[in-house]
Structure 1
Amino acid sequence: MARSALTTVLLFVVYYRAPLDRGINPGTLVWFVVGLAALAIAVVGQTRAILRSDVPRLRAAETAMIGLPALLLLYASVYTVMSTAAPASFTQPMGRTDALYFAVTVFATVGFGDITPVTQVARVVVTTQMVTGLLAVGVVAKLLLGAVQRATTKDG
């Protein structure tokens, strides 16, 4: 658990220190896609690690504790870049904390309405977060729970 907490703190430090105040360019899209791919690869790797682990439940909890903040911070980074490069993308300009707040409200499907996407591009990105969030909760939870079940069944 200490490793999960340390990794999560590191993710937040990187988020708040990263140069997100640059304009949008093709590299931004590549960076976003690479980030999503890295998360997917990490989940697959963690699923394999759960299957081999002596403590599969703990390993699954660790995966969730790192994966969820990583996903939210990835989208918050994109929202920060978008808001900086094209302030009219959302109903109000967003700094890093605003963008993180927005990413969490979208993920949690709360939707307070204080920040909303205005442009088509912003709406597409928010839509991808909604779909990715559903996949994260549904498919990833199923994979992780299945791996825990398989790992505990082979021991029992």
Structure 2
Amino acid sequence: MIARAVLRTVGSAAALVAVYYALPLNHSSAWGAVTMLVIGLVVFVGLVAFQVRTILRSPFPGLRAIEALTTSVPLFLLLFASAYVVMATMSASNFGERLTHTDGLYFAVTVFSTVGFGDIAAKTEAARLVVTGQIVADFVVLGLAIKIILGAVSRGRQPGDADGAQRIHR
């Protein structure tokens, strides 16, 4: 069971990264980037809601929560990385240089981790607004999403709830 969970986790993260690198981000427009980011964030919220539900119904909620986090966080980071690559392609002044897919991912992870090496920086107001949006969303993801997922693990482990009773009888 643990091996399957690890394979699913690695497989989904690898698939997300492969799709990210396959996307022709250097041919997108500003509206395309905004639309992609907004739709992606809606999908992200939907994914977290679905994952909370599966955690609650899982016979192994802790394992399912780890799977949920290792799918949700990469998706979240790749959404912002995509936006950064598109913005840098549209105008080199947004970040001081054009960003490759790897540079965009690196920058998104750097912002998420609050390390901020300073080698890539948002130079325009538009870029700074998107980075600020990621920072605010980072707090939400780290605070709210993790709290919700861990709360679902706690509820999923309670033997007295309806889902727990159904799991015991299966």
Name 1:121's counterpart in structure 2. Answer: 126
Cα deviation digits, residues 2-47 of structure 1 (max 9, x gap) = 1111011011111111110114232321121000000000000100
Given that residues 34 and 83 in structure 2 are in contact (C-alpha distance below 8 angstroms), is that contact kept between their aligned partners in structure 1? no
Name 2:168's counterpart in structure 1. Answer: none
Cα deviation digits, residues 111-147 of structure 1 (max 9, x gap) = 0111110100000000011011111110011000100
Name 2:116's counterpart in structure 1. Answer: 111
* TM-score normalised over the length of structure 2: 0.88
Name 1:25's counterpart in structure 2. Answer: 30
Structure 1 residue runs of 5 or longer lacking an equivalent are none
Aligned-partner Cα distance in 1 for 2:123–2:29: 17
Aligned-partner Cα distance in 1 for 2:26–2:96: 18
What is the correspondence of 1:4-153 to structure 2 with a 5 Å cutoff? Answer: 4-153=9-158
Percent of residue pairs identical: 42
Give the partner amino acid of 2:16.
L
* TM-score normalised over the length of structure 1: 0.96
Given that residues 61 and 157 in structure 2 are in contact (C-alpha distance below 8 angstroms), is that contact kept between their aligned partners in structure 1? yes
Structure 2 residue runs of 5 or longer lacking an equivalent are 1-5, 166-170
What is the CA RMSD across the aligned residues, in angstroms?
A: 1.3
